[in-house]
Amino acid sequence: MKLRNNDAAQLAGAHVLVVEDELLLLLELKSMLRDAGAEEVYLCRNVNDALACAESTKLTLAILDIRLGQESVTPVAHRLTNDGTPFMFYTGQTLTDPLFAELRACKIVSKPARPQIIIEALADLSHQNSEAAQC
């Protein structure tokens, strides 16, 4: 995933949680986020690790896959909402998945997406006021 030159500082200083069960995609997202200026990128492949990270780390943004194997990322989404951390879904799940009914106000980017689409979605979340950025 390659960014355009003007995407390089859009996430300057951000601390981003990425919750994704596919290892290669997780590593690509980390590289892309760092290239976009993220200061820290925390990688989690399951709900328990993501919840522990959200509890112990001051996050500024998050990217969540809606399903992690058989697990639903819903507990993480609720935790981030309660903490006031803006997040988006980056998922291959269809919009007819029942989990979207509960979280339909959230930003959703469908897999696969160009890097600049993902970065712009996160940058938009980070620039919105905290109330509007929440699901």
Residue-wise pLDDT for 57-103, tens only, equals: 999 999 999 888 888 899 999 999 999 999 999 988 766 666 666 77
CATH number of 11-125: 3.40.50.2300
Q: Which two tokens stand for residue 55?
A: 């509890």
Distance CA 81, CA 25 (A): 24
CB 90 within 8 A of CB 111: yes
Residue 53 pLDDT exceeds 90: yes
